[in-house]
Each structure stands twice: as structure tokens, then as C-alpha cells.
Amino acid sequence: MALVATTHVNFPGTARAALDFYQSAFGGHVHTTTYGDLGMPPEAPDAEKLVFGQLEAESGFRLMAYDIPGRTEGFSGSTYREQGATITDRPFFVSVRGETLEEIDGPWKALQEGGEVIEPLAASAWSAGFGMLTDRFGVTWVLDVQAARG
């Protein structure tokens, strides 16, 4: 059992270029999944943007990245409400990934105390468990179960 925390950087449509740049700096391999890969129609404006991107280097360096759907401008640092939750417009999340749903369930329950759930922890098209919340200190967390690579 191992929980891994990874910096998860949000981009306004430049995640692929950023991952390529970080790969040139840190080495390793980039893995990507587009919104189109998960079923978005190819003609949709965001179909080629990344819903999941990750750089993994042999040194242990790991960075996740994704393109926020519909976003083309940078970040303001302001706070806003989305789906009933308070979101701070920042270019990063803290991502915690486990091997099983049971492994991330305890931290999920603890982090949501006094915070606001953006997406409940549940099975998704890409994972046995995925959830997003903003904790009582304004930090946005993504907890998920490592998906099998195929």
C-alpha cells in the first residue's frame, strides 16, 4: 500500500506543450489522454486537449497536467463558486493517488471535513475512484485510484 502525492498543474490549453517542456528538463516519459479519447466528439473545441497528462521520470519525478475545458486565458488567483463548491482559480491541485479505493477513502473523508466537495469520490470512466474537493484552507485536492495503462 502506497499513497503518492503529485503536483497536478492546470493549463488553459497548453498542457501538452508544458509536459513536453518539462520532459526536456527532467527526462522520463509523457502519458496523455485527451477529452476525445474519452468520448468527446472530435469536432468539439476541446477534443484534442488533455484531460490527463503525466510525466514520469526514472528519477522518481512526477508531474500531472490537464487542460481546463473551455479555458484559454491564464489564472487570476480569484475565488469563485462551481457546482456549489468554492474554487480558487490557481494553476495547480494536489493529487493523491492510491492503488485501491479503500486506500484513498480515509484521506478523502478527512480532507472533506470543513471543506467543499466539487466531485464526489466515485467510479469514473477512467478510474475505480475519482473525487475532487477544496479543503477548509482553500487547497484543491484530487484523490483517485491509479488506472491501468493500456
Q: Which pLDDT belongs to residue 88? A: 61
CATH 2.60.120.10 for domain 7-74, yes or no, is no
Supply the pLDDT for residue 51: 93
Q: How far apart are CA 72 and CA 57, in angstroms?
A: 28
Which tens digits make up the pLDDT trace of 40-66? 999 999 999 999 999 998 988 898 999
The residue ranges of the chain whose pLDDT is under 50 are none
Structural domain spans, the chain = 7-74
Whole-angstrom distance, CA of residue 30 vs CA of residue 62: 10
**C-alpha to C-alpha distance for 110 and 102, rounded to whole angstroms:** 13
What's residue 115's pLDDT? 87
| pLDDT score for 70 | 86
Residue 78, pLDDT score: 66
- Other C-beta atoms closer than 10 Å to the C-beta of 139 total 15
The 3-state secondary structure of 36-99, one letter per residue: HHHCCCCCCCCCCCEEEEEEECCCCCEEEEEECCCCCCCCCCCEEEECCEEEECCCEEEEEEEC
Q: What is the per-residue pLDDT for 40?
A: 93
Determine the pLDDT at residue 6. Answer: 87
Q: What percent of the chain has pLDDT over 90?
A: 40
